[in-house]
A and B are shown apart, each in its own frame.
Chain A
Amino acid sequence: MTSARDAELSALLDGALSAPEAAALRAQIEADPALAARFAELAQVDAALRALPARPAPADLRARLQAKLDAESAPRTGLGVIRGGAPRRRRAWIAGISAAVAATAAALMVLLHAPGELQRGAPRDEGGLAAMRPSDTAASPDEVALVVAPSAVPSEQATPSPAPLAPPAELGSPDASRVARVEGAALQAPSPSAGDGAAHSDGGLLDTTPDSSAVASTPSPQEPLELAAANSADAAATQRASEATPALWVETTDEEAEALGELAPDDASVVAVLDFLDELDVLEAEAS
């Protein structure tokens, strides 16, 4: 039996053959015991799969969805509603990349260097994906740094950042503090005294770090990348850009995210960026 014939058996099971093709193959199956046995073997897989028990959706699932829908229709700030979830975050980065890489980088630098702010503002704003898995966002700062400075690898990094990155104090504007609070909520940043550091046990950049200076001085594979990102752009210009357009850090605008391809998966540029991010995931995993 050829493998091509074998694949036709699957196609027959899936109703993917034309009527004449299906009839011809059925005739062959009837005439050929070996072929019939093979067909039965494959058909049993389908029967076994279909026999798997189906768990009904939990009774509260609709109510949980409604809570999220209500949150979406709540009044938005300049940065939109708070909502977690890795998929949207990734799309949001794409928005940042395509809109203004430098400005996004600067905005993220602000976030990266304000963990104290993150920790103080750690109320749990929502119970979505992010809240469920606090380690989500621990990975995001360094990943963004990688996106911003894809060519920078730790070994190339020798010089320290020439200009201090935005200190936490600059988070005083309403929009910026909103960002910090959003991230704080998602991070559930543990304070060392809370004895709850296990939530960040996967070595994330923000792992139980009590203040911003500790982040900057913690030797980690990610640090040089951040600094390289800062060096690679005019820090002052990017800082201004970020102040002018804080909404580039968009956890928030679903229309943008969707416009970027969630419902238009054929958009080649979006696919290319996603593939690029996937490659970065691999590099990142290898580096750590």
Chain B
Amino acid sequence: MLDEDVRLMLAFRDGDDAAFDALFERWASKLLRFLERMVRDQAVAEELVQETFLRVHRARARYVADAKFSTWLYTIASNVARNELRRPFRRAPHDSTDAEREGAPLELAAEESPVDEIVNARREGAQVEVALERLPERQRAALWLAAVEGLSYGEVAKALETSESSVKALVHRARVALAEQLASARAKLPAEAKPVLLRGGAR
């Protein structure tokens, strides 16, 4: 039995352009969310969503339903993001490479002071977002795909062109790093409240 996405892709391959529209509707927002986490820039992420769908469009004739559509789509998106992140002289809000970031200690954008539960919850979201942004690229991708998008380790391995055991290690390291960030943020309760600075502001 084919999942709905595979059915749509096969229909698109066979000439049904409306199926492409349907796939875009189903996946654009999720892809945007993933790519925003990867490249840390909304405008660039939007371009990369388009690039991903352009590649889907170009590849339609060769599409075979031998994997879940989502795995195939995230493979393309991961490659697109990888290329973007490795572009020389890439202009991005955070321009350090993963290699540079790998050894650096994680830090939060600001000290925080929980005023009440709601503020605290929002702050925790902001903290996890900042901490996520600071993870190395592959940890970030692996954790997002496994924990948020629900891909299996095997599917993540395919999307990131690595082994399942690597994915397991990547996801775990990423999760531990974020857990430590959340725990230390919760432990620290400074008196002075400062807004957590999120780049972009419009999130």
- A residues near B, CB below 8 A? 6-7, 10-11, 13-16, 41-42, 44-46, 48-58, 61-62, 64-65, 68-69, 72, 85-87, 90, 128-129, 132-133, 135-136, 138-139, 143, 202, 204, 254-255, 258, 262-263, 265-266, 278, 281, 284-285
Contacts and interface: CB of A to CB of B under 8 A. Distances in A.
Contact of A52 (B58, B128, B161, B172): B128
A135 B87 CA distance: 11
Contact of B50 (A49, A51, A65): A65
B36 interface: yes
Contacts, number: 147
Contacts of B203: 53, 55
Nearest to A53: B203
Contacts of A45: 128, 147, 175, 178-179, 182
Interface of B: 21, 24, 28-29, 32-33, 36, 42-43, 46-47, 49-51, 53-55, 57-59, 62, 75-76, 79-80, 83-84, 86-89, 91, 124-125, 128-129, 132, 143-144, 146-148, 152-153, 161, 168-169, 171-172, 175-176, 178-179, 182-183, 203
A7 B47 CA distance: 36
Nearest to B161: A265
A128 B48 CA distance: 10
B153 A16 contact: yes
* Main SS at interface, chain A: helix
Contact of B33 (A44, A46, A54): A54
Contacts of B147: 13-14, 45-46, 49-50
B53 A49 contact: no
Contacts of B179: 41-42, 44-45
